Amino acid sequence: MKTIQLRNGSRVRQRGQGMTEYIIITALIAIAAIAAVTYFGSTVRAQVGAMGKELGGTDASSTINRAKNQGNAAATAAEKKKDLGTYGSQAEVK
């Protein structure tokens, strides 16, 4: 606990400042992780599934190919022109 002495001689204790900063940082990291999973979700899900299959001793070539296809589809969608004129007319990658 940190104690601050004011000009008039009284002391004020600051409680919880460190915890508040910790909570804010944790929340920002969680928001960034959610955004990353939302943006790269299907590709990451397929890659993690393939790693799990390989670690379990199962052939995961079909899952790896699925991850590659989803990555290519995401790259193709990212290259398309997006502005207010095309809003809502193009299907998103899923």
Query: What confidence tens digit (pLDDT) does each residue in 44-56 have?
Result: 778 878 888 888 8
Q: What is the pLDDT of residue 6?
A: 64
Segment 10-33 mean pLDDT: 81
Q: What is the pLDDT of residue 1?
A: 53
In a domain, 20, yes or no: yes
In a domain, 90, yes or no: no
Exposed (0-12), middle (13-18) or buried (19+): which is 70, by Cβ within 10 Å?
buried
Number of domains in the chain: 1
In a domain, 14, yes or no: yes
CA distance 39 to 27: 18
Residues of the domain holding 57:
2-78
| Mean pLDDT score of the chain | 76
Q: What is the pLDDT of residue 85?
A: 77
pLDDT of 28 above 90: yes
